Amino acid sequence: MSGSLNITASTVEPGLLTLPWDIPLESWPEDTITALPKGISRHIVRFAQLDGTVIAIKETTDEMAQGEYAMLRNLLKIEVPCVEPVAVVQNRTDEEGNALPSALVTRHLKFSMPFRALYSTTLRPETAQRLVDSLALLLVRLHNIGFFWGDVSLSNTLFRRDAGSFAAYLVDAETGRLYDSLTTGQRHHDLDIARVNIAGELMDIQAGGKLDANIDPIATSDRIMASYETLWHELNDPELVEQNELWKINKRVQRLNELGFDIEELSIKTDETGTKVKIQPKVVDAGHHARRLLRLTGLDTEENQARRLLNDLDAYAATVSLLNLDEEVVAHLWLTRVFEPVIRSVPENLDSKLESAEVFHQVLEHRWFISQQQARDVPLNEAVRDYIENILQYRRDEELVIHPATGAISTNISIIKDDSDFEYLDEPVLPRGADEPVRDWRDLV
């Protein structure tokens, strides 16, 4: 390689030096690149393997590569959902010494997909609506911290499944700017861009025959306006309540928590007559439930997944009468005796289908569905087996598997209440002296 390659990175990545930077990105050999679905981009983008992980490489100008790298680092510091920047590669030249574009390297977000990869035959109305709603929430979060995107679109976003919904991640920040706060005009300009881009993307899918006939691209793109405005006003508008209705303050906080936002402080003022209270919440970043789950169990999940897992954890605590124990102790028991056995039951050759938290959520959903269908309380073991055999194995992989596992081992779930009363067995756990096997922690009471 001629010339002096310049790599700027926040961490040591020796594998970067082994990549063929002296070749234009669009001509990289097949044994170097990795086939992954990607959205539409004005730049050449390729995926490659780097020390057991996957990176995305985008050719662009020096200025844009450096600016986007710095912007993504700043966004990560304030916990904005976006891709992780790895490096900027400059001073690239080919074997003849001709200059090649600079490259921005980011880490591929596991289990994420561009919106065009979220449908196989046609994009259904409910999927399109959930995508737009998740993008609206992302945009509210960005605007709340003073980030002007400038190029809002489904194609510039990655989506991860989040307990029946989607979580959106910013993937392209080259037009973004970070301010102390945004004006109403700046926010509405981003919304106008989003509405036009989403409509165009859906029309493009429609032209290819991949859009459900019941979807109106214009109406669906307009949905982002309604979703955004609802979220924005809920987060930022002051509220007047009567002195005898102070319970509404807690109700407001609860609504914000359900949206996934924490409250840093509340500004509460009485008006001139002294009969009304004006409340103005100061909202911090989203992730109320995700942070609680991470603190209790170490599981790092999306917000809706965290809410669902916490619901199951709380039900576990109530059902097996463990409420007199510390919350951390109960969480450890649930993690080791409920969550982990379910995840271990997934065969190795299927563990790249979905991330663990989404698998657990879908197992709970599947258990509820077949319980309703069969009019009985289906044991957890049975629900897991049925889910793996009839649903999970037919899903496409949502994580890139570089070296697929060749074997598969399915472990029976053994969930116990107390070490003195139960034993781990290969078969469903039997309480000593019981006539029927215990297959679910809900059967313990």
Residue 436 has pLDDT above 50, yes or no: no
How many CB atoms are located within 10 Å of the residue 68 CB?
Answer: 21
CA distance 220 to 123: 12
CA 29 remoteness from chain centre: 32
Average pLDDT over residues 304-328: 79
Identity of residue 431: P
DSSP at 33: B
Residue 1 has pLDDT above 50, yes or no: no
Q: For residue 123, what pLDDT is reported?
A: 72
CA distance 199 to 195: 6
Residue 191 has pLDDT above 80, yes or no: yes
Average pLDDT over residues 277-303: 75
| Band of pLDDT at residue 444, cut at 50, 70 and 90 | very low
Decide: 293 and 310 in contact? Cβ < 8 Å.
yes
How many residues belong to the chain?
Answer: 445
Q: Which among 195-209, 269-283, 311-325 has the top mean pLDDT?
A: 195-209
Q: For residue 13, what pLDDT is reported?
A: 81
CA distance 96 to 219: 53
Q: For residue 290, what pLDDT is reported?
A: 81
Q: For residue 120, what pLDDT is reported?
A: 53
Average pLDDT over residues 200-205: 90
Residue 350 has pLDDT above 90, yes or no: no
Lowest mean pLDDT among 163-177, 250-264, 299-313, 411-425: 411-425
| Band of pLDDT at residue 193, cut at 50, 70 and 90 | very high
What 3-state DSSP class applies to 19? coil
Residue 10 has pLDDT above 60, yes or no: yes
Query: What percent of the chain has a predicted confidence (pLDDT) above 70?
Result: 78
How many CB atoms are located within 10 Å of the residue 418 CB?
Answer: 10
Decide: 284 and 264 in contact? Cβ < 8 Å.
yes
Residue 286 tokens, joined: 């989203």
In the chain, what are the domains?
6-108 (3.30.200), 113-236 (1.10.510.10), 239-286 (no CATH), 304-444 (no CATH)
Name which of 377, 344, 379 is nearest 360 in CA terms. 344
Average pLDDT over residues 327-343: 89
Q: For residue 53, what pLDDT is reported?
A: 84
pLDDT tens track for 353-363: 888 888 999 99
Name which of 296, 294, 382 is nearest 345 in CA terms. 382
Task: Please list, in sequence order, all residues whose beta carbon lies within 8 angstroms of the beta carbon of residue 220, skipping any fewer than 6 positions away.
Answer: 125, 128, 129, 132, 198, 199, 202
CA distance 264 to 287: 13
Cα-Cα-Cα-Cα dihedral of 138, 353, 57, 123, to 10°? -60
| Band of pLDDT at residue 208, cut at 50, 70 and 90 | confident
The β-bridge partners of 90 are: 6
Residue 433 has pLDDT above 60, yes or no: no
Residue 415 has pLDDT above 70, yes or no: no
Mean pLDDT for all residues in the chain: 79
Identity of residue 395: R
CA distance 194 to 373: 41
pLDDT tens track for 373-400: 888 888 888 999 999 988 888 776 655 4
CA distance 146 to 158: 21
Lowest mean pLDDT among 60-69, 84-93, 286-295, 430-439: 430-439
CA distance 167 to 137: 9
pLDDT tens track for 62-102: 999 999 999 999 999 888 889 999 999 999 999 888 999 99
Decide: 171 and 76 in contact? Cβ < 8 Å.
no
Task: Please list, in sequence order, all residues whose beta carbon lies within 8 angstroms of the beta carbon of residue 216, skipping any fewer than 6 positions away.
Answer: none
Identity of residue 111: F
Residue 423 tokens, joined: 């034993």
Decide: 89 and 105 in contact? Cβ < 8 Å.
yes
Decide: 155 and 201 in contact? Cβ < 8 Å.
yes
Q: Find tokens 């649903």 and name the residue.
A: 391
287-290 long-range contacts (CB < 8 A, ≥24 apart) are: 287/79, 287/260, 287/262, 288/257, 288/260, 288/261, 288/262, 289/257, 289/260, 290/260
CA distance 305 to 361: 7
CA distance 393 to 70: 41
Name which of 45, 296, 272, 322 is nearest 172 in CA terms. 45
| Band of pLDDT at residue 404, cut at 50, 70 and 90 | very low
Average pLDDT over residues 418-435: 34
Residue 403 has pLDDT above 70, yes or no: no
CA distance 280 to 211: 42
Q: For residue 402, what pLDDT is reported?
A: 37
Please list, residue by residue across 23-45, b when 16 or more beta carbons sit within 10 angstroms of its beta carbon and e when fewer do: bebeebeeeeebebebbeeebbb
